[in-house]
Copies of this chain bind each other. A is one copy, B any other.
C-alpha cells in the first residue's frame, strides 16, 4: 500500500511523553529527496464506535470534552483495552455508556481520525437487536444518553451540537440506510 516514491524512512525516534491514554514521540525521517524532517507523532491504543438505532432513534451520548471545553453529543465510543477484540470492545462500550445490549454487531469501517499526527484508529460497528439495560460508565465518566430521531440528529449537526467526525459519518450512513429501506419497513 506504500508508493515507494513517497516513502519516508525513519532515522530515529525520540520518546517525549507516555501517558494514560496517549504517548508522544518525535521521529526524524528521511524524505524521498534525501533531506531530513521531524514528525510529531501521537500513539493511541485505538477505539471503537457504535451506530445503534432503536425504534427509529439514534443512541447518542452527551459528555464533557475537556479538549474543547464543551459537551459533545457523540455515538457511543471508547478506547480499546489491552489485547481486546474490537467487536467485544464495541459491545462493552455500548452497554457501559448506554445500557443497551445488542444481539448483532456488523463492522462498517475502520478509519484513522488524524493521519497527519496520530495513529488513532476507530473501528465503527452497526448494532442491531437492542435490549435496554443498566449503564455502567467508568468511574471518571459522566454521561447522559440521548435518543434522537433522524430530524433531531440533522438539527443537532446544523446547530453544531453534534460536531464530531465519527458521529457525522454515522449520521450519513444512517441517512443512506434509510434511503435504501422501503418506508413500510422503517421503525
Contacts and interface: CB of A to CB of B under 8 A. Distances in A.
Interface in A44-102: 44, 47, 62-72, 74, 77, 79
Given A169-B172, A176-B175, A6 B71 contact: yes
A15 to B, nearest CB: 11
Contacts of A161: 1
B122 A6 contact: no
Given A6-B63, A22-B40, A110 B172 contact: no
Contacts of A114: 44, 113-114, 118, 120
B169 A165 contact: yes
Contact of A68 (B3, B72, B112): B112
Nearest to A110: B163
The majority secondary structure among interface residues of chain A is mixed
Contacts of A144: 3, 5-6
A130 interface: no
A51 to B, nearest CB: 12
A10 interface: yes
Q: Which 10 A-B pairs have the closest CB atoms?
A: A172-B172, A39-B66, A19-B40, A37-B140, A67-B119, A111-B165, A6-B64, A65-B115, A165-B165, A113-B113
